[in-house]
């Protein structure tokens, strides 16, 4: 049946996401706090006006545009350069939608300045398309390991039950839906990469890894997934390493070709700093490396992962079950989760500013869905466990969607301010 196939996501979820997005943003105005090109999102986006309209010429940009887009970048009057700390991976992935918006701007009588409302429409579609493609690819991957029903339903539940929804529908200018798509494509490629490796698959894989790293540098950890995918024991792990060593010239060749995707970033850095490689985040760093805020990023009221996305608790039950069954993927996902948690908890701004939930984990939902599916399969013939799980999932989805639709973009309480959190919960 068509309802139990991965293409269900494209056939039904794509038009639904279009409706939800334009309904959500129906009253938004460009260049305002609720606009999609604002603050961090503007910092990612600004590469496109630089590439296609103004060049790196600060004087050519509209007056006060950095202020009108939330100071996600700034125009340096001393050097006449546009300065953004954000890498260009997001902008590369947004480019087809930007160019379409730019072409249609004059047709529909918008200002073709890179910032009028039609450019926001382009970003709305970018978020929708990359979200749905990511879910589709993830469903295709899951269908190789789980039943058709689970492989279709689980991605939809993760959309409804996590802040992937928020960063696809509400805030598609942020980096997370693009990282999520790239992670899903990498995961989708992995079975072929590890069983029938060939030049084209390696090239696409390393292009995705390069773009993912250009989107968020910590995304580079996804390159480890093929080493642990579908591994049963140590000997298979050694065989997997030998597989890549056997194809070392293909690996090195495709990695070299994929590295050309970094050219826009290198040219931008060279234009603004005179250096080919630059740490663009200035004084921002991992100041909590020796005192990571792990409890805070997991449980605090200011964007704690499990308080805003309790569906991940269910994934952790699946991880425990996988480890109990000696599944190497379960160990890998658990260890990777701890590693990324440590990294995020060490960042100076561990709550990641105005955001809905722990946004830094969104792309990793593409991995956390695997133990979720494992648990669904395990309980499907256990009546009590199955219905308990259904109720828990329904509650998590309701909680997530209810908060997202009333969320104003920032949590205004303190780190452990449960009174403010409960007000948000009861909106």
The DSSP code sequence of 131-184 is: HHHHHHHHHHHHTTTS-HHHHHHHHHHHHHHSTHHIIIII-TTSSHHHHHHHHH
Quick one: tokens of 214? 């250009």
Mean pLDDT in the chain? 94
Among 216, 183, 215, 166, residue whose Cα is nearest residue 36? 166
Look at residue 80 and tell me if it is in a domain.
no
385 in a structural domain: yes
Output the furthest CA–CA distance in the chain (Å, rounded): 69
DSSP secondary structure code for residue 411 in this structure: -
Percentage of residues of the chain with pLDDT beyond 70: 99
pLDDT band at 427 (very low <50, low <70, confident <90, very high): low
Q: What is the pTM of this model?
A: 0.96
Instruction: Flag whether 281 is in a domain.
Output: yes
In this structure, is residue 98 part of a structural domain?
A: no
The answer on pLDDT for 378 being more than 50 is yes
Phi/psi at 74 (5° precision): -145, 155
CB 300 within 8 A of CB 359: no
Report if residue 10 sits inside a domain.
Answer: yes
| DSSP string of 325-369, one letter each residue | TT-HHHHHHHHHHHHHHHHHHHSTTTT-SS-SS-GGGGGGHHHHH
**Residue 89: inside a domain, yes or no?**
no
Alpha-carbon torsion (210, 216, 220, 221), positive or negative: negative
Tell whether 42 is covered by a domain: no
82 forms bridges with which residues in the sheet?
Answer: 75
Q: How much is the pLDDT for 4?
A: 66
CA torsion, points 63, 34, 128, 210, in degrees to nearest 10? 60
If DSSP codes are grouped into helix, strand and coil, which group holds residue 81?
strand
Here the tokens at position 75 are 């125009």
Token pair for 310: 């309790």
pLDDT score for 33: 80
Lowest mean pLDDT across 5-9, 134-138, 269-273, 364-368? 5-9
Token pair of 129 as six digits: 């398309």
Report DSSP state, residue 83: E
pLDDT at 1: 46
Expressed as residue numbers, the domain containing 261 is: 2-31+120-425
Number of structural domains the chain divides into: 1
On whether residue 99 sits in a domain, the answer given is no
């Amino acid at each position: 049946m068509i309802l139990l196939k991965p293409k269900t996501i494209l056939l039904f979820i794509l038009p639904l996401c279009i409706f939800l997005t334009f309904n959500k943003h129906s009253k938004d105005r460009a260049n305002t706090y609720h606009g999609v090109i604002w603050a961090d999102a503007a910092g990612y986006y600004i590469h496109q006006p630089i590439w296609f309209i103004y060049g790196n010429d600060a004087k050519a940009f509209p007056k006060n545009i950095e202020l009108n887009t939330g100071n996600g970048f700034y125009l340096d009057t001393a050097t006449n350069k546009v300065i953004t700390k954000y890498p260009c991976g997001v902008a590369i992935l947004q480019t087809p939608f930007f160019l379409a918006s730019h072409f249609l701007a004059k047709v529909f009588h918008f200002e073709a300045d890179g910032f009028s409302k039609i450019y926001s429409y382009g970003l709305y579609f970018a978020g929708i398309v990359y979200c749905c493609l990511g879910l589709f690819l993830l469903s295709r991957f899951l269908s190789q390991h789980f039943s058709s029903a689970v492989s279709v339903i689980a991605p939809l539940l993760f959309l409804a039950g996590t802040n992937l929804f928020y960063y696809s529908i509400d805030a598609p200018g942020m980096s997370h839906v693009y990282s999520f798509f790239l992670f899903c494509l990498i995961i989708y490629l992995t079975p072929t990469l590890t069983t029938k490796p060939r030049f084209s698959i390696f090239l696409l894989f390393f292009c995705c890894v390069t773009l993912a790293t250009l989107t968020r540098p910590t995304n580079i950890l996804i390159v480890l997934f093929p080493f642990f995918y579908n591994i049963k024991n140590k000997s298979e792990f050694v065989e997997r390493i030998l597989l890549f060593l056997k194809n070392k010239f293909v690996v090195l060749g495709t990695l070299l070709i994929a590295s050309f995707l970094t050219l826009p970033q290198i040219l931008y850095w060279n234009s603004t700093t005179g250096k080919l490689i630059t740490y663009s985040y200035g004084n921002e760093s991992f100041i909590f490396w020796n005192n990571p805020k792990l409890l805070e990023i997991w449980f605090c009221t200011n964007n704690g992962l499990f308080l805003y996305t309790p569906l991940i608790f269910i994934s952790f039950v699946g991880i425990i079950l996988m480890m109990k069954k000696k599944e190497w993927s379960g160990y890998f996902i658990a260890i990777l989760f701890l590693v990324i948690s440590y990294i995020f908890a060490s960042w100076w701004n561990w709550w990641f500013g105005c955001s809905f939930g722990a946004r830094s984990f969104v792309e990793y939902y593409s991995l956390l869905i695997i133990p979720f599916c494992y648990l669904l399969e395990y309980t499907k013939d256990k009546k009590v466990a199955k219905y308990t799980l259904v109720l828990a999932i329904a509650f998590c989805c309701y909680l997530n969607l209810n908060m997202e639709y009333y969320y104003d973009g920032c949590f205004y309480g303190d780190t452990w301010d449960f009174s403010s959190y409960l007000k948000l919960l009861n909106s």
